[in-house]
A and B are shown apart, each in its own frame.
Chain A
Amino acid sequence: MDILTRTLAASGLALALAATPAAADEFTQQDLKLWESQYQAAVKQGRELWTSADLGTNGVACAQCHPNAANTHPETYPKFQKQLGKVAPVWEMVNWCIRNPLEGKDLAADDPKMIAIQAYIHWERRGVKLAPGKH
């Protein structure tokens, strides 16, 4: 029994769920397709932003220095970024690049554009082992 099941059992919900046809941990092909299409839509939007001049003010695009999002190594974040003097998540480095080489304005952490950019760079690094805190 995991913690969730125990908690549910304690609150009397477990029985109710067991009686429902779609149990919590059963998802359908339809679910899988939905999640994949939603994620890939974010990846696609991220790729468009990556190659677009619209994030900054000087026409420079992320892809100019980072073809295929190479050298962004999202698998290492959050990590100590010596130039920032603290442990920073990858979106803070994305904003650093938007402010500096792109001469643009920060995106909010939860801006759908920032989410899309992170979806894209993670997709280009799929399959790479997590290397938390490296370099």
Chain B
Amino acid sequence: MSKFNRRDFLKSGGALLAAGTLPLSLIELAFADKRQNFTFAYISDSHIQHIKGKEFVRNWDRGLMRAVAETNLMDPKPDFVMYGGDLAQLGTKPEIDHGLELLAPLTHKKYFVIGEHDYYLDLGEYWQQVASPLYYSFDHKGVHFVVLNSILTYDEWTYKRWPTAEERMLQMAGLDNPNGSPFMVGDKQRAWLRQDLAKVGKDTPIVVFSHSPLQKIFRGWNFWTEDAEQVQALLRPFKKVTVFYGHVHQIQYNQIGNISFHAAMATAWPWPYPSTYAQVQTRLPKLTVEMNRADPFFERDATGWQFIDVWSGNASVHYSLPENRTRTVAFNTRTRRPEDRQYQDPARHVPPQTHF
């Protein structure tokens, strides 16, 4: 495992990828019994934005269309596609419908995580009719998958503060809006999670999907889940836990105890790292080597793609950025944390990893 690299993965895991740059993740779960190996794709944060009538923001549409087209070209075919949330920008029916329409060419079984941009107009009502339940779990070839709705917030904010649903949605849609409110999983869902996990063996690999990070990075932009520690505590008894999250539109990874964290890039646009906001102290996991600065003149730059194999329950994430060198963040069994294969040592950082 410690010698594990991309070439080994391609030889042993048998995953072949079309050349190119895919704004999505392909995850391979590898087991000793190769017949059990499987892959799934992970697409997130498309922010489909309605203009008027049949017009939608072209740039965001193209990001998702590209992800869908590339996913359909994958060989071996992923067992399913996980959508990581924020399919819509302002949670409207036209946006959700158009997003689902763009996802429709996928020939795979689809699962969905809900994001705040999908939720705060009607509190997930339409989403549940046409896309997915808000939280659930399922088992697939020996892995227990859990999907959480991590973008809930305080009841007072959700139910009492805003005169209209549209106003509530607009307020939550602004990432840096001081009138927003911190995300949380909440008591009810944590009670459900406790029950759900009670029936799962402690050796079973657990893969959790949430929209917001189940760790606290920067509250000002909601790179944050208010009850993250309580959720982590429920996951602590398990040997191998990996959390994948969207929302942050950038490469992040971390290790907290037994839990590995990996963020997905967006298909829509990249976000600056919190450290580039000079007026506050922020805490990016120090483990994370930041992705290169985006070239604003190339609209797909820093949207990229990643594929992930969970080898014996630990993830290796391969990031491909359109105008940058491919990066690999793999679990190091010696240090017991995810590390960048090439750039982890500060002496090996490249100039575009310095952010202004």
| Chains A and B form a bound pair | yes
Q: Are B297 and A68 in contact (CB under 8 A)?
A: no
Measured CA separation A65–B293 after assembly (Å): 13
The answer to whether B279 and A60 touch across the interface, beta carbons within 8 angstroms, is no
Query: Given A63-B174, A76-B356, A101-B59, are A70 and B269 also a contact pair (CB < 8 Å)?
Result: no
Bitwise interface map of A from 18 to 36 toward B, beta carbon under 8 Å scored 1, else 0: 0000000000000000000
- Nearest B residue to A51 by beta-carbon distance? B174
- From the candidates B57, B174, B277, name the one contacting A70 in the complex (CB within 8 A): B277
Using a CB–CB cutoff of 8 Å, the interface residues on chain B facing chain A are 47, 49-51, 55, 57-59, 89, 174-177, 220-221, 269-272, 274, 276-279, 293, 295-297, 299, 351, 355-356
A131 to B356, CA, bound (A): 9
- Identify which of B55, B89, B175 contacts A67 (C-beta below 8 A): B175
Contacts of B297 in A (CB 8 A): 83, 96
Residues of B within 8 A of A101 (CB): 59, 269, 299
Give the 10 A-B CB pairs with smallest separation, nearest first: A67-B176, A71-B272, A73-B356, A70-B272, A83-B297, A67-B175, A70-B276, A70-B277, A68-B176, A68-B277
**Given that A51-B174, A58-B49, A59-B57 are contacting pairs, would A67 and B296 also be in contact in the complex, using a CB cutoff of 8 Å?**
no
Please tell me which stretch of A4-12, A38-46, A111-119, A120-128 contacts chain B, meaning at least 4 of its Cβ atoms lie within 8 angstroms of it.
A120-128
Nearest opposing residue in chain B for A66, CB measure: B272
Could you tell me if B356 and A67 are in contact, using CB atoms closer than 8 angstroms? no
Interface residues of A (CB under 8 A from B): 51, 57-60, 63-68, 70-71, 73, 75-76, 83, 93, 96-97, 100-101, 124-128, 131, 134-135
CA distance A67 to B50 in the complex (A): 21
What's the least CB distance linking B266 to chain A, in Å? 10
Docked Cα-Cα span, A96 to B296, in Å, equals: 9
A75 proximity list for chain B (CB < 8 A): 356
- Complex contact A67–B272 (CB within 8 A): yes
